Amino acid sequence: MTAAPTTRERIVDAAVAMTTEAGWSGVTMGSLAERVGVSRQTVYNEVGSKTGLAEAVILRELTRFLAVVSTAFDQHPDDLVGAIRAATYGVLELAEDNHLLHAVVSATHGADTELLPLLTTHSHSLLAVAKQVVTDRVTPYDLGLDGPHLDIAIDVVVRVVLSHVMQPTGPPAETADGIAWLAGRALRG
């Protein structure tokens, strides 16, 4: 039995739904409060400002994507390249069907006003979290790389995957194969 979603989770879920339906510009604290069945003050108390709400929405999606990464590494404890391939494939598959991501990236319905920069030009915290998760998952493998070189290799791999999330150039399986090949070379020193 799963726990009932918190008020904050319900607010973020509603914001995601509203963004995919009508765009980020259509999400107001008042309409969000009405949809969730709480007061506007409750919305402000839970997420702060609309910028805080935008960050919460992006963080929720990032958490979903990073869960896919963790699962892939759990399934390939002795095969780094296999883990990276599975993680990349899973992330690209999730991105392919992610309505929020499509709304933000395509800038439909004015979705780009606050959300797109959080994925692109102001993505420092997103990148830091993603790189830390990948670093934590890659470190147990025997790599033969010192810390600075490992940091560079992980940064490149994470950025390449995110680039394909934002602008795919081929089918997820094909892209995952290519990124796994590249990562295998980079992470083996």
158-183 pLDDT tens trace:
999 988 988 899 999 999 999 999 99
Domain assignment of residue 71, yes or no: yes
How is residue 143 written in tokens?
Answer: 């790599």
Domain count, the chain: 1
- Within a domain: 178: yes
The model's pLDDT over 69-97, given as tens digits with 9 standing for 90+, comes to 999 999 999 999 999 999 999 999 999 98
Domain presence at residue 108: yes
Kindly state whether residue 101 falls inside one of the protein's structural domains.
yes
- 3-state secondary structure (DSSP) of residue 82: helix
Mean of all residue pLDDT scores within the chain: 86
Place of tokens 């940064």: 155
CA distance 19 to 99: 9
For residue 68, being part of any structural domain is answered with yes
pLDDT at 108 over 50: no
Query: How many CA atoms within 13 Å lie on the side-chain side of 5?
Result: 9
Tallying the residues shown for the chain, one arrives at 189
The more confident residue out of 114 and 32 is: 32
pLDDT of residue 93: 95
What pLDDT does 111 receive?
42
Within-domain flag for 22: no
Provide the pLDDT confidence category of residue 59 given band limits of 50, 70 and 90: confident
In a domain, 8, yes or no: no
Tell me the pLDDT band of 114, cut-offs 50, 70 and 90: low
Can you tell me the distance from the alpha carbon of 73 to that of 79, in angstroms, rounded to the nearest whole number? Answer: 9
Q: Are the C-beta atoms of 158 and 66 separated by less than 8 Å?
A: no
- Residues 139 and 165 sit within 8 Å (Cβ to Cβ): no
- Angle between helix 29-36 and 40-47 (nearest 10): 100
pLDDT digits (tens, 9 = 90+) for 16-54: 999 888 878 788 999 999 999 999 999 999 999 988 898
Whole-structure pTM value:
0.81
Identify the domain containing residue 79 by its residue range: 57-187
Which CA distances in Å does 101 have to 16, 94, 117, 133? 10, 10, 12, 21
Q: How far apart are CA 29 and CA 27, in angstroms?
A: 7
Q: How far is CA 182 from CA 85, 88, 93, in A?
A: 10, 12, 19
Assigned domain for 120 exists = yes
| % of residues, the chain, pLDDT over 70 | 88
